[in-house]
Structure 1
Amino acid sequence: MTDPVPDRTRADGADPSSATDPTTVTDRDLEVLAEQLGREPRGVVGIAARCVCGRPLVVRTAPRLPDGTPFPTTYYLTHPGAVAAASRLEAEGTMREMTERLGQDEELAAAYRRAHEHYLARREELGHVDEIDGISAGGMPTRVKCVHVLMGHALAAGRGVNPLGDEALDLVADQWRPDRCTC
């Protein structure tokens, strides 16, 4: 029997309807992700963070998509409110300001390098992909090029792992917060 929607299967081959913990992907999660993204989700291996109502906030994605494309973005921010808030930060020039601070603040730069290493280690748990070896996402470890990635990583890993992701979440708290449902 073939899967009626092959692009919506989990990348690790597991049955998405057998959820036993919050990170497991269910068929309903895949439906919500398609609604959030406006397209079928690809390479989903888990839900890395959920809204307080249970809907996905951040998806964990395989380092190689089902079509063979290398994909460095392990933690992909999906919640529309969070995505919009991250986009506003980017439009306000937050990435440039954060990158400048990385060049001036050695402690911040060291913490950001550790976030990069954490990101790489979590992705490597899902499999090794030569084409993206050593490349994390969002500009880590030397610059900021995507606030969405930083927020997704911070939501997935928890506070204290990605300092700029934590900071971005603080900056958008008046617009969007993970502890308040806006689904």
Structure 2
Amino acid sequence: MSSHDDVPAVGLPADSSDAAVVARQLGRLPRAIHAVGHRCPCGNPDVVTTEPRLPNGTPFPTTYYLTCPRVNSAIGTLEASGVMREMQDRLGSDPDLAARYRAAHEAYLADRAAVGAAHGHEVPEIDGISAGGMPDRVKCLHVLAAHALAAGPGVNPLGDEVLEMLGDYWAKGPCASLDDPEPAGRPDLDDRIGR
């Protein structure tokens, strides 16, 4: 098991240095950050918890948003390898896995509702819609990994599997710092997931 187990899930408000690092990671200013959802063992935020409604009023179902460009790239490689198809097939043939994945979906919805309530947001446009394809499909490993990091082990079984496949993605040190001359972000990823 990777060391993400040793790092407790957090929901701490992002301070200005966290927001600046996330901007470096994304290559643009972050929007609607509610809190740091998880902090990488390197010290940087690697998941932010996002409000369910963006400042421009757009509903945003991705409560847990993976910001680390290094892990985003590694997950993109996993997606290209066919892992999602294999996971999808297992959902159809393993009732226990399907039940745990459905429970992850329900946990995600409860977390979003709590974040929305904290900001006075009701977002009926996305009621019952979680992210990543939950509860019946495997659509985005980035979202599943972000949920697994933020919620901690045992909540999202497929997200836990993704993190296991990644290993110690933080071992090379921080993916971004305020001293970096260039943003580390992946605009292509941001565009693909509608951020």
Cα distance between partner residues in 2 of 1:121 and 1:22 = 14
| Aligned-residue offset at 1:80 | 1.4
Q: Aligned ranges for residues 46-57 of structure 1 at < 5 Å?
A: 46-57=35-46
1:81-120 equivalence runs, <5 A: 81-120=70-109
Letter of the 1:182 partner, please give it.
G
Q: Which residue of 1 aligns with 2:183?
A: none
Structure 1 runs, 4 residues or longer, greater than 2 Å off: none
Give structure 2 stretches of 5+ with no counterpart: 1-9, 117-121, 175-195
Query: Which structure shows the bigger proportion of residues in helix conformation?
Result: 2
Q: Which residue of 1 aligns with 2:138?
A: 144
Q: Supply the distance in 1 between the matched residues of 2:57 and 2:89 (Cα, whole angstroms).
A: 35
Question: What is the DSSP-based 3-state SS (H/G/I as helix, E as strand, rest coil) of the residue aligned with 2:115?
Answer: coil
Q: 3-state SS of the aligned residue for 1:99?
A: helix
Distance in 2, Cα, partners of 1:53 & 1:86? 18
Change (3 A) 1:142 1:134: same
Deviations 1:2-45 (A, max 9, x none): xxxxxxxxxxxxxxxxxxx8712110111101110011100100
How far, CA to CA, are the matches of 2:172 and 2:57 in structure 1?
35
Helix, strand or coil for the counterpart of 1:161? coil
**Counterpart in 1 of 2:48?**
59
- Percent identity, aligned pairs only? 59
What is the number of residues matched between the two proteins? 160
CA contact (8 A) 2:42 2:173 kept: no
Change (3 A) 1:163 1:172: same
Distance 2:59 2:16 in 1: 25
TM-score between both structures, scaled by the size of structure 1 = 0.84
* Alpha-carbon separation, structure 2, partners of 1:23 and 1:86: 25
Q: Which residue in the other structure is 2:173 paired with?
A: 182
- CA deviations on 1:56-104 (whole Å, 9 max, x unpaired) are 1100000000000100000000011211111111111111111111000
Report the equivalent of 1:42.
31
Contact 1:51 1:181 in 2 (8 A): no
> Could you list the runs of 5+ residues in structure 1 that have no partner in the other structure?
1-20
Query: Bigger relative contact order, structure 1 or 2, given CA contacts below 8 A and separation 6+?
Result: 2
Secondary structure at the aligned position of 1:149 is classed as: helix
Task: Specify whether residues 99 and 80 from structure 1 end up closer, same or farther in structure 2 by C-alpha distance, changes over 3 A only.
Answer: same
Question: Secondary structure of the equivalent of 1:49?
Answer: strand
The answer as to 2:123 corresponding to 1:129 is yes
CA distance in 2, matches of 1:112, 1:155: 15
Is contact 1:81–1:182 with CA below 8 Å preserved after alignment?
Answer: no
